[in-house]
Chain A
Amino acid sequence: MAEPKDGCVSPAKGPIPPEAEESAPMQNQTQKGVSKVIARVGKPAPDFEASAFIDGGFQNIKLSDYSGQWVVLCFYPGDFTFV
């Protein structure tokens, strides 16, 4: 993984469609901007790229960077919320 940098990071891609879908862009064009829920137990976790704050710096991180490790991915409503 790249060293954390304090400079600007390039915009993160967000969800990364599986390669099968990527190779058929025409089919997918009308779907642009519409995100379908694809996370299900027993199925591959949808890959994504997101900008992140880590070790005091900013860095783009992909879920697939952690292939080979157990990963806990936690979503939460917002920083500075109470629970």
Chain B
Amino acid sequence: MLSASTDSRFTHKIWQEEELSKMIDGGVPFPMLSDAGGKIGAVYGVYDEDAGVDIRGRFLIDPDGVIRAMEVLTPEVGRNVAELIRQVKAFQHVKATGEVTPSGWQPGKPTLKPGPALAGKVWKEWKPENAF
């Protein structure tokens, strides 16, 4: 877990000490990166030049350094950590098994095995109610 904003590392220190440590015992346990100037955010497509800040963007990167998922929101709505964790589990399952996870998949729910035998037969394996 890495967090990044255009604030300096000094501001991160004060935020950790003055506020975050009051929400989480010992403060957040991950590196808080400074993207001063927004150059990193620009490369990731989340730097808002007008406001001079990085907007809310989350990137899931696999052990090979490949981006697997991204989610970008305007600032007023926060993220859903449960959905992030579900995506991590789904990508890890896919990597380990070669199966694929249909819409609404949660650990323990059925997966699909892609191949010619499945073509046109997904309706037998997956129902719309599985999406929820």
Residues of A within 8 A of B (CB): 9, 12, 14-15, 35-48, 50-54, 58-59, 61, 63-64, 66-81, 83
Which residues of B have CB within 8 Å of A38? Answer: 43
Give bound CA distance, A81 to B116, whole Å.
51
What are 20 A-B pairs at a CB distance below 8 A? Answer: A41-B67, A41-B70, A43-B66, A45-B66, A50-B4, A51-B9, A51-B34, A53-B34, A69-B63, A70-B60, A71-B60, A74-B1, A74-B3, A74-B79, A75-B3, A75-B54, A75-B55, A75-B56, A75-B58, A79-B11
Contact assessment for B66 and A42 in the assembled complex, using a CB-CB cutoff below 8 Å: yes
Contacts of A61 in B (CB 8 A): 2, 31, 33
B residues sitting closer than 8 Å to A (CB atoms) are 1-16, 19, 30-35, 37, 39-47, 51, 53-70, 75-79, 84, 88, 91-92
Interface secondary structure of B, over-half rule: mixed
The answer on a CB contact under 8 Å between A73 and B4 is yes
Instruction: Give the contacting residue for B16; candidates A12, A53, A77; CB below 8 A.
Output: A53
Of A52, A54, A73, A83, the residue contacting B76 (CB under 8 A) is A83
Closest chain B residue to A17 by CB distance? B43
A61-B31, A73-B58, A75-B44 known; 17 new pairs, CB 8 Å cut-off, are: A14-B35, A15-B39, A40-B67, A42-B66, A42-B68, A44-B67, A50-B35, A61-B33, A63-B65, A67-B64, A71-B1, A72-B84, A75-B46, A78-B5, A78-B7, A79-B12, A79-B14
